[in-house]
Chains A and B, each alone.
Chain A
Amino acid sequence: MSEVLHLENKRELFVDYYLTDDFDGTALKLHHPAPADIAIKYDQPWETESTCASFYTTVFQDGDIFRMYYRADSRYVCYAESKDGINWDKPNVSLIKHDKSKNNNIILPDCQIVFSPFLDTKPGVSQEQKYKANMERAGFKLDPLKKGLNFYSSADGKQFIRIQGDPAIPWTIPNHFDSQNVIFWSEVESQYVMYARYMVGPDGKTIDNDQYMYKLDLLSNSKDKYKASDFPTYIRSTVRSTSPDFENWSEFTPMEYSDTDSITPSAQLYTNSTIPYFRANHIYLSLPGRIFFGKIKDPKIMSRDTDSEDYGDCSDGVLMTTRAGSNRYDFIFRESLFRPGIGDENWTTRNNYPTLGIIQTSKTEISIFVQRRYAQPTAYLERMTLRLDGFASLNAGYDEGQMITKALDFTGNKLELNYSTSAAGRIKVEILDESGTPLEGYGIDDCDDLIGDEISGYVSWRGSTDLSKISGRPVRVRFVMNDADIYSLRFEN
């Protein structure tokens, strides 16, 4: 008998196989976000005068407002704000001069690669350090000992100052944190968690950083003699580290990937955008940008800052998930979450990367944000929407199917579902004991039909939703359904 899952009253999503045991005529289904509107156009002079490579956006909710941070034009860190997560303003923060004026939304002058902030929700965190950030310290000419990650903090989310050493985290892993590195306070783990970019061998083995640096040195100092293609293909991937205090960090642990059962994912994952899901913070959703080098849709439409052969590529966004404390990503849905789409503009390098951050923009809807037209004068950030909890579902077609969960217990007294059926569809739920025998009063024939479309619907048996009699007892749950989706469930108090 396998271990019993303790759901307590946490929400579970159908984004992985954590809950599920036996499928018969049902399957997990990925849902694709719908394009909604343009959140930000990168159209100001300080966003368009150089490379137009505005990129690496972070979005989070902070009380009544939403904050957004992004690299503008390969040089500035810029800031935007919104009351609803839909309509975004670039406030005049008056901090940094551009073209003799501080009338702009620039908050830092020297963005090396990525400025990646977060709202520190650690209990007791001081107001001065309420906002923290990391930024890669890079540059080909920089002394390797100076390279690494720098840390910043801020009291207002706009004026950031550097804290700790320079760098705070030295360059010890291959590929020197070369994209958006994510740090957040995990309420579930009670520690800071970092998901950082590094490179791994194509064979499921780590690479030696000294070797990597040596080769990089050869590449950068003698461009005529060596080309990137002279070296083995390294795969962009993610390492994890944790810290109790934001100062002392554990050794980097390579993340494993379920698609290959190894630390080498099946594709180059440029970013990881890993974030606790705000409705189930023990589940971390990860929206990597996935890049395919050498896949050039049309040489004529390559972006303007891309004379190097390294920039002939296309990319899209995918969904992975991991769980608090885990060193493994579930990469179940290998098809893209969203595609580059119609029009050549997004079939160029570094396009279509999901930003870091998933926010709720209505009672029923979440928004994610996607970089479009990278390094083009018309570059913008697109908002896309999904149903609340709606990245994936347990789905059944017209013919009735079922899914039986693993053995689990819970602390609540009623079962809440986020579900949708057609007019012809319905959902029924049966509670079984560990051996698979229906519990009296909770059989399939006792269950009232669930027909409709609700973010919060309750399962009832002969008119009663009460589960207090079986709360705490190991059970299995059998979902019998047709033409329906279940997006999440929760045993509610």
Chain B
Amino acid sequence: MGSITIGNFRQLFFDDYFIKDMQNVSRKLHSPVFREIVLSSDSPADKASAMFMVVLKDDGKYKAWYRCDHIGSPEVRNPRHAAYAESKDGIHWEKPSLGLFEINGSKDNNLVWMGPGSNLAPFIDSNPNVREDQRYKAIIRTSKADQHHPIIGTSGGLDAAVYGLVSPDGIHWNLIQDTPILTEGPFDSFNIPFWDPLIQEYVIYTRGIGGVKDSNSQEENIDIKSIEYGKTTWDFFGGVRWIRRSTSKDFINWTPLQDINTGDTPFEHLYTNSCTPYHRAPNIYLMFPSRYVIEHTPDNDWIHGEGVNDIVLMSSRDGINFDRTFMEGFIRPGLDIENWHERGIYMEKGILQTSDNEMSMYLSEHIRYPSSRIRRLTIRTDGFVSVNSGFSGGEFISHDFILEGDQLELNYSTSASGYLKAELQDLEGTPIPGFSIQECPEKFGDEIDGIIKWNNKENLRELLGKSVRLRVALKDADLFSLKFLK
């Protein structure tokens, strides 16, 4: 049996990396709770929509960038700009008057980018070698609206290109160069860049095309212009909407885009990936793609087209192979009828730790309505997926690993009737004396950082460096994560 490396990384249970065998327990998906509306398209600069947001924490405050569509003339598509907002708590957001761009004869607005391109997706460059004046980076995508732009119009990037942007402060942005950094479209919707500390490279997750006959060479097989949008599932250039990744060491030169892989799960239209390394376990990539179900059209009178969207959750350990244990919707459109049309909801990029116990995520809803807005969702810290046991109890056992910590920390919740107990075994499956399940008092309660103790053993120091496996018994309980603390 193969062993795994866990070191001091927090273990979460999106996939079966840590757990080898489960008895009478299962992995359970927990959906976030809908909270308040935090951003509305209610100011002169953003009155047509508020969507495609990036949130992050910097300088002790929360910052957000979002696309705001200014209402254009009937003949012209609404111009798409980028605006900025700030918050102390992740709940109350302010739109500062930045005075950078004029719209409707005034600079009293929070705009930070008016093109070329749209769908500004910033990140903080934590590359140790980053230049101070390029601490913020971002990408935009160009479209037909940019054809008369002096730079874009002549660079060959029209309609299917990604450009790089840099900024010292996230407010003042410039193109990093006059030519695109990615040119093999499609790049419609929200493409997400970030510095990946694990591989020490920049990454971009973009729109792609999946499910085409030969998915490894799809770009060569498809003449994009020759394919009409159809009414079947496979309507997107002969395939489904899909997600691709490219990597770069310098943010200028990028590897060819590569499709993500979801194993043998069925192809569904997946896009607006909102990919992020999970901040409490940076070796795990989380993605919250929009799933577009074109066959399901609840409102036949909807003028913008067929289908309906929800949000799914997937995870990866290498950034390319994504686990889809949970095919069910992670976030349903819900009771609000104005979310029940194509592209009605999108998950925004970024997870904010808004208290020790709780994380906030953001969902754009009412898209295409004048009430287009962004809602805060909350979820328990690490609380996406748990190992769950009902009243009758159950247990799981891990793969083998080398113990590299001296305390076992659990993020867990039990009912009053429930409990968890842990045991360390050797590679034969024999309990290690002092650390058997019989010597572990029932752990009950509800803690983000509870420490498991055995009757006579406060810590695991004597087992450091040994190959072991972990057995956990639980009843009416959820285990959200565990970690061996150094």
**A contacts, CB < 8 Å to B:** 34, 267, 290-292, 295, 297, 314-316, 334-336, 339-344, 347, 352, 364, 387, 397-398, 420-426, 449, 451-455, 483
Contacts and interface: CB of A to CB of B under 8 A. Distances in A.
21 contacts: A290-B416, A334-B390, A334-B417, A335-B390, A339-B446, A347-B445, A347-B446, A397-B327, A420-B334, A423-B310, A423-B329, A423-B333, A424-B293, A424-B327, A426-B296, A449-B296, A451-B298, A452-B333, A453-B333, A453-B336, A455-B335
A366 to B, nearest CB: 13
Nearest to B476: A335
B401 interface: no
Nearest to B340: A452
B446 A342 contact: yes
Given A297-B444, A316-B417, A347-B445, 8 more contacts: A316-B415, A336-B417, A340-B446, A422-B328, A423-B291, A424-B328, A453-B333, A454-B335
B224 interface: no
Contacts of B446: 339-343, 347
A34 to B, nearest CB: 5
A392 to B, nearest CB: 14
Nearest to B416: A316
Contacts of A352: 416
B302 interface: no
Contacts of B357: 342
Q: Which 4 A-B pairs have the closest CB atoms?
A: A422-B329, A336-B415, A423-B310, A398-B327
A297 B419 CA distance: 11
Contact of B391 (A335, A340, A426): A335
A295 B475 CA distance: 15
Interface in B298-343: 298, 307-310, 327-329, 332-337, 340
A398 B265 CA distance: 11
Contacts of B417: 267, 290, 292, 316, 334, 336
B14 to A, nearest CB: 16
Contacts of A397: 327-328
A34 B33 contact: yes
Contacts of A290: 416-417
Given A316-B415, A316-B416, A340-B446, A420 B332 contact: yes
Interface string B399-421: 00000000000000111111000
Nearest to B290: A423
Most buried by B among A34, A334, A422, A455: A422
Contacts of A297: 444-445
A336 B309 CA distance: 33
Contacts of B268: 424
A426 B448 CA distance: 36
A336 B448 contact: no
B42 interface: no
Contacts of A347: 445-446
B447 interface: yes
A314 B419 CA distance: 12
B101 to A, nearest CB: 36
A451 B447 CA distance: 38
Most buried by A among B292, B293, B296, B415: B415
A425 B329 contact: yes
A342 B390 contact: no
Interface string B434-446: 0000000000111
B291 A424 contact: yes
Contacts of A340: 415-416, 445-446
Contact of A336 (B292, B296, B416): B416
Nearest to A346: B446
Contacts of A339: 413-416, 446
Contacts of B447: 342
Nearest to B413: A339
Nearest to A421: B332
A343 B332 CA distance: 30
B332 A422 contact: yes
B393 to A, nearest CB: 11
A422 B328 CA distance: 7
A423 B309 contact: yes
Contact of A451 (B308, B337, B416): B308
Most buried by A among B307, B310, B340, B417: B417
A334 B391 contact: yes
A285 to B, nearest CB: 19
B232 to A, nearest CB: 16
Contact of A423 (B293, B390, B415): B293
A295 B335 contact: no
Contact of A453 (B296, B307, B335, B390): B335
A80 B293 CA distance: 48
A373 to B, nearest CB: 14
Nearest to A336: B415
A108 B448 CA distance: 43
B476 A336 contact: yes
Contacts of B309: 423
Contacts of B444: 295, 297, 314
A234 B208 CA distance: 65
A449 B300 CA distance: 12
A454 B340 CA distance: 11
A483 B328 contact: yes
A422 B337 CA distance: 13
Contacts of B334: 420, 453
Contacts of B336: 453
Interface in B136-179: none
Contacts of B307: 423
A231 to B, nearest CB: 23
Nearest to B414: A339
A314 B33 CA distance: 26
A272 B390 CA distance: 22
Contacts of B296: 423-424, 426, 449, 451
Nearest to A422: B329
Given A455-B335, A483-B329, A342 B476 contact: no
Interface in B61-95: none
Contacts of B391: 334-335
A398 B310 CA distance: 13
Contacts of B327: 397-398, 424, 483
Contacts of A342: 357, 413, 446-448
Given A267-B417, A352-B416, A424 B310 contact: yes
Nearest to B443: A297
A23 B376 CA distance: 37
A34 B444 CA distance: 21
A424 B415 contact: no
A406 to B, nearest CB: 25
B34 to A, nearest CB: 9
Interface in B428-486: 444-448, 476
A423 B357 CA distance: 30
Contacts of A387: 335
Contacts of A452: 298, 333, 337, 340
Contacts of A364: 335
Contacts of A398: 327-328
A243 to B, nearest CB: 34
A386 to B, nearest CB: 12
Contacts of A449: 296
A291 B391 CA distance: 15
A69 B335 CA distance: 32
A314 B329 CA distance: 35
Contacts of B390: 334-335
A449 B297 CA distance: 9
A288 to B, nearest CB: 12
Nearest to A399: B327
Nearest to B442: A295
Contacts of A292: 416-417
A421 B293 CA distance: 12
Contacts of B418: 335-336
